[in-house]
Amino acid sequence: MFSYYFNIALVYILLGFITAVFFYFILKRDIFGRFWGALIVALIGSFAGGVFGYILDDLITRLTRVNGTVNIFPPLITAFICIWVFSNLSEKQKKDD
């Protein structure tokens, strides 16, 4: 049972990390806290997406699953949304200064 939840947590952490790298290094978005801020927000978004995915599982059962257990779309989408919102707020704060 431990390995089941451990694998899910690893996938969410990996998705959050990939999202943070994408926003900070590839899109070069100005984010408060730089890479670490982006990583923390992306991890929170990834786990929140996993929770939403669990709650709305009936609606998304037809989406692709990784390893037969983890649906990667809700955590990935939520991580992107959270870091996008955080990035936009960081830019607005920087403009106000």
Q: What is the 3-state secondary structure (H, E, C) of 41-83?
A: HHHHHHHHHHHHHHHCCCCCCCCCEECCCEECHHHHHHHHHHH
Give the Å distances, CA to CA, from 31 to 26, 49, 72: 13, 21, 24
Distance CA 88, CA 36 (A): 16
The conformation of residue 27, written as its DSSP 8-state character, comes to S
Instruction: Per-residue pLDDT tens, the chain, 97 aa: give them.
Output: 788 889 999 999 999 999 999 989 998 887 888 899 999 999 998 998 888 878 877 666 665 655 667 777 778 888 888 888 888 888 777 776 6
Separation between Cα atoms, residue 74 and residue 1, nearest integer Å: 22
In the numeric block, the tokens 């992107």 are attached to: 80
d(CA 70, CA 12): 9
